[in-house]
Amino acid sequence: MRRAFIAGNWKMNLTQSTATELTNGLVAKLDDNTSVDVAICPSFGFLSGVAAELASSHISLGAQNLYPAEAGAYTGELNAEMLLDLGCEYVILGHSERRHLPDIAESNGFINLKMKSAIAAGLKPILCVGELLDEREAGQTTAVVEEQLANSLADITTEQVDVVTIAYEPVWAIGTGKVATPDQAEAAHANIREWLRIRFNDLVADTTRIQYGGSVKPENARELLSQPNIDGALVGGAALSVDSFMGIIENA
Ligand code: PGA
């Protein structure tokens, strides 16, 4: 019922030439893929170059952030309209690195403004949520994730949430090689789905795609992605090579 969705978050990596090389490698391998939705999310500077390479492929383009304002005096920022103009379909919002890097420290309120501005412009947000290690150890995983969902999705209507993907990314599993067990991930995803059922309705709960993120690799993808409530993956490190990203897509 829900098509698998694998997104690569390239973070602040690569150069113009290695980004082009990686994109071309993926396009060549994914030429006839029609069963899994795939997106890649380069840093801002590489968006237009990657968009050109993706033009006639099945791979979608996403950005890693946006600034929620009309064009104007916001030095260094890009807004939703600019991302659309650059060819983006998706935008990652509320990533844990933006929530937790001390000099960035994005709040749920700010993420909510970004969600609204992405949806209003016609971008599809990938909203990241997830707990820190000490929050998990203190038994607060559900409370933390539900608070992030409630505040990041504040005022977003049942009609609007249609374009949203949720990515559950336990912060302790991101870039650490420590992957959540399939049972831990499935339990968190099932909770998110029930939260969507109560906040929105059955249709939203049953159709919203919930990706898992945090040290996903070809070796652990199959077991994670075969869980009933895991509909895809948001991939960091393993999205930086054609072979490992393809290995994950083939397991989806
Ligand atoms: P990782 O990153 O796959 O390198 O753990 C995932 C993410 O941050 O989205």
Stretches where the chain sits below pLDDT 70 are none
Domain span at 147: 5-250
Q: What is the pTM of this model?
A: 0.97
Ligand 1 neighbour 213 (Cβ under 6 A): yes
Provide the pLDDT for residue 163: 98
Overall number of domains in the chain: 1
pLDDT of residue 131: 97
**Active site residue: 53, 106, 131, 169, which one?**
169
CATH of the domain at 233: 3.20.20.70
**58 noted as active-site residue:** no
* CA of 128 relative to ligand 1 center, distance in Å: 11
Task: Note the pLDDT of residue 56.
Answer: 86
CB distance 9 to ligand 1 below 6 Å: yes
* Ligand 1 pocket, residue 174 CB under 6 Å: yes
Contact 90, 63 (CB under 8 A): yes
**pLDDT tens-digit profile of 116-129?**
999 999 999 999 99
Quick check: CB of 61 below 6 Å from ligand 1?
Answer: no
> Ligand 1 mean position to 130 CA, how many Å?
12
User: What is the structure's pLDDT at 188?
Assistant: 98
Taking a C-beta distance cutoff of 8 angstroms, is the pair 252, 36 a contact?
Answer: yes
Residues 6 or more apart in contact with residue 209 via CB below 8 angstroms: 2, 3, 5, 165, 166, 231, 232
pLDDT of residue 177: 87
**Catalytic residue check, 21:** no
